[in-house]
Amino acid sequence: MTHAEDWNPTVYLNGEWGLLSEARIPVLDRGFIFGDGIYEVVPLYAQADGARLPFRLTQHLARLERSLGKIRIDNPFDDAGWRALIDRAIQENAGPGDALVYIQVTRGVAKRRGHAFPAGITPTAFVMVGQLAFPTDAARARGGVAVTAEDKRWLNCDIKSTSLLGNVLMAQYAAENDALETIQLRDGLLTEGSSSNIWIVKGGVLLGAPRGPRILEGIRYSLIEELAREAGIAFEERDITEAELRSADEIMMSSATKEVMPLTTLDGKSVGDGRPGAVYAALFDAYQRAKAREFELIRNRAKQGA
């Protein structure tokens, strides 16, 4: 899918559908004033019949519910409600190619600016279909460039908050260094990328930083565990030191928009032999099989429901 600058999807905002260019929120929306909101990004895969199917939607909606709960915003919809909105957003913006669904909920519009939660406020809800191009085969074959930086974010990184300034600065740092991702370190330990989870391979074992407040648990975290099991790759969730990162045989990132992607250069040095590794290749294949299985399941359910 091309990244047309005139992309102007029909979006959902607080009960109404209209063009993105026309969508408006009041200035006192807590999302604008305080970054007081939660979001999700769900990948949509183009199918041979022209449909676009979400991958791991159930898990994304569960994380949305968890994130909202952690900052005490009432979820404006149940799963069925969100699914109906997402289905409609996909229908309204039908077209070729892969895409994504962006969901955002903020605490709502306050009457005046003040930090503490206003009483009796209704959350703002927004759903948009966005453009998405997954990494090309050529980009995967080369692998991505990564740089490292100190993780200076707050210690609630497990909340998928729209307060993303720390992540924004890290992504900008990558862009200014012609890198795909910035890998963050806190107290000498690997945390995660600016918008991805990071995995390393040492002696054939796949390692992931511990789940907890220092990282966002990607929807791909449990998925990678499943894929590793399926591919017969040993996996350990544990602290990863900077020295281990720098001497890793393989490094890869995972996210909704990159799937699993090899990182073959770290701070200007080759990772392993400088080429995507065998563990990456096995996980990538297993990822494609997992997608095929899930899409088959969605199609079968739709047939039964029809």
The residue ranges that bind ligand PMP (CB under 6 A) are: 41, 167, 192, 195-197, 216, 218-220, 254-256
Q: How far is the CB of 114 from ligand PMP (least distance, A)?
A: 29
Residue (110 or 224) nearer to ligand PMP, CB? 224
101, 97, 94, 74: which is closest to 12 by C-alpha?
101
Q: How far is the CB of 27 from ligand PMP (least distance, A)?
A: 26
219, 231, 220: which is closest to 278 by C-alpha?
231
Strand partners, 130: 100
Residue (124 or 161) nearer to ligand PMP, CB? 161
Q: How far is the CB of 12 from ligand PMP (least distance, A)?
A: 21
With CB atoms as reference, the residue minimizing the distance to ligand PMP is 218
Residue (109 or 266) nearer to ligand PMP, CB? 266
111, 160, 258, 303: the active-site residue: 160
Q: Is 152 designated active site? A: no
The pair of structure tokens assigned to 173 is 């740092």
Residue (105 or 216) nearer to ligand PMP, CB? 216
| CA–CA dist 212, 156 (Å, integer) | 9
Distance of CA 13 to CAs 106, 124, 135, Å?
Answer: 11, 7, 30
| CA–CA dist 264, 189 (Å, integer) | 20
Cβ atoms of 287 and 135 within 8 Å: the answer is: no
Q: How far is the CB of 58 from ligand PMP (least distance, A)?
A: 13
What is the residue whose two structure tokens read 């609630």? 156
Instruction: List the catalytic residues.
Output: 160
